Amino acid sequence: MSAGGKQPQPPPPQSPSPSSLFTLRGSLLTLALLTLASFTVVSLNSLRSPAAAAAAPGTLTPSFSILKMSREAAGDGDGDGGGGGGGGEELSDIYHLPEVFRLNYAAMERDFGVFIYPDGDPNTFYQTPRKLTGKYASEGYFFQNIREGRFRTDDPDRAHLFFIPISCHKMRGKGTSYENMTVIVQNYVDSLIAKYPYWNRTLGADHFFVTCHDVGVRATEGVPLLVKNSIRVVCSPSYDVGFIPHKDVALPQVLQPFALPAGGNDVENRTRLGFWAGHRNSKIRVILARVWENDTELDISNNRISRATGHLVYQKRFYRTKFCICPGGSQVNSARIADAIHYGCVPVILSNYYDLPFNDILDWRKFSVIVKESEVYNLKQILKNISDAEFLQLHENLVKVQKHFQWNSPPIKYDAFHMVMYELWLRHHVIKY
């Protein structure tokens, strides 16, 4: 304050100079041009991917820039025509977002790293399951492929996710009780938490385990911190066993090796409308058998087909049928779905609340028929209402997805192993620490 008690007056505002106005206008113009260019590129990408608008509401898509990825992955195609890279099949509408799938898959192949905990006695439950056959083969194939494949890293600081390699399949083979299984799993996870800092960074959100049978679900459900926090890759993706779709991954249950070659362009041989044979070990199977077992157009049997009736009779029925009924059993999962896909028989998903394998990647309605359990009484009419042209399109698309439901050793591009890894790749983007 001045001696006279008066406050000094602020200097009068000055008008901006012509040079500063020019600089401001130039910056705004540049910003506008950059924004216009960005929207133009995004619009072109959308035009190249017409199926993007039909994506399911729950589709998981990483939030990173597609523009940036398109620059990085532009030359990454291998020209095999198998769903990505330089082939044309990646733009098929069997995928929710075909162009995003192609670009993200290339980024996964290039960057994804998984650290496998080395702890645990390799002679017990912490190594690749011995068997790669049978209805739980998917677990064995995954263990073997992740250990021997390109995604494994021995540097935990480079890893995006951490694999907890405990095999409930091996526990089951050794006759371990459910109570002891839970104790074994709990002690193993506790030891990893105490020895390493990685679990505590995210409370296990960047950890995952793999199990492909009901035993694995029961063995791990007694370890709440594992079930609630980590990513469960399981063959029982039913919501009544605590499956969380945006966190967990549905592992396809594939009965390998297949007894017969894959079905293909053979629709002229498919004269039977529908087929199912199996045990009545669920409510929906009991109803299915009771309502339709004497029908002349639906081949429905309430028991498994005995081997005494002939060699591979069950598998050969798939070749002669248009639609193969896939009702949930004691658990919602069933190897019958992968069988139907392999043999070229359009699967009819007859289950409520089933998060199908690769559901956020593949548009199942393009190669299967999804029916609510309450509609089992109208099943035959639903199938007969599907026109020949619609069936031919479903069958054609079914052949396209066969490679995604095949396990290989060593793994090959776009097979079941790589699709599971892609699901994990999507999920790692939502984990921040």
Task: Based on the fold, state whether residues 112 and 247 are members of the same structural domain.
Answer: yes
Task: Based on the fold, state whether residues 396 and 418 are members of the same structural domain.
Answer: no
Domain for residue 433, yes or no? no
Which of 69, 142, 165, 63 is closest to 111 using CA atoms?
Answer: 69
Task: Based on the fold, state whether residues 117 and 205 are members of the same structural domain.
Answer: yes
Task: Based on the fold, state whether residues 302 and 396 are members of the same structural domain.
Answer: yes
Angstrom distance (rounded) from CA 398 to CA 94? 9
What residue numbers bound the domain in which 275 lies? 267-405
Domain for residue 47, yes or no? no
- The DSSP element (H or E) to which 299 belongs, if any, is strand 298-301
For the segment 98-125, what is each residue's pLDDT rounded down to a tens digit?
999 999 999 999 999 999 998 876 666 6
**pTM for this model (two decimals):** 0.77
Task: Based on the fold, state whether residues 200 and 340 are members of the same structural domain.
Answer: no
CA quadruple 27, 32, 35, 36: dihedral positive or negative?
negative
Angstrom distance (rounded) from CA 40 to CA 51? 19
Which of 83, 54, 50 is closest to 422 using CA atoms?
Answer: 83
Within 13 Å of residue 7, how many CA atoms lie on the same side as its CB?
Answer: 3
Domain for residue 190, yes or no? yes
Domain for residue 373, yes or no? yes
Task: Based on the fold, state whether residues 156 and 207 are members of the same structural domain.
Answer: yes
Task: Based on the fold, state whether residues 303 and 167 are members of the same structural domain.
Answer: no
Token duo for residue 370: 């999804």
For the segment 292-350, what is each residue's pLDDT rounded down to a tens digit?
999 999 999 877 665 556 678 888 999 999 999 999 876 667 788 999 999 999 999 99
Domain for residue 81, yes or no? no
Q: Which residues of the chain have pLDDT under 50?
A: 1-8, 10-13, 15-89
Task: Based on the fold, state whether residues 275 and 417 are members of the same structural domain.
Answer: no
Domain for residue 225, yes or no? yes
pLDDT at 241: 61
What three-state secondary structure class fits 236?
coil
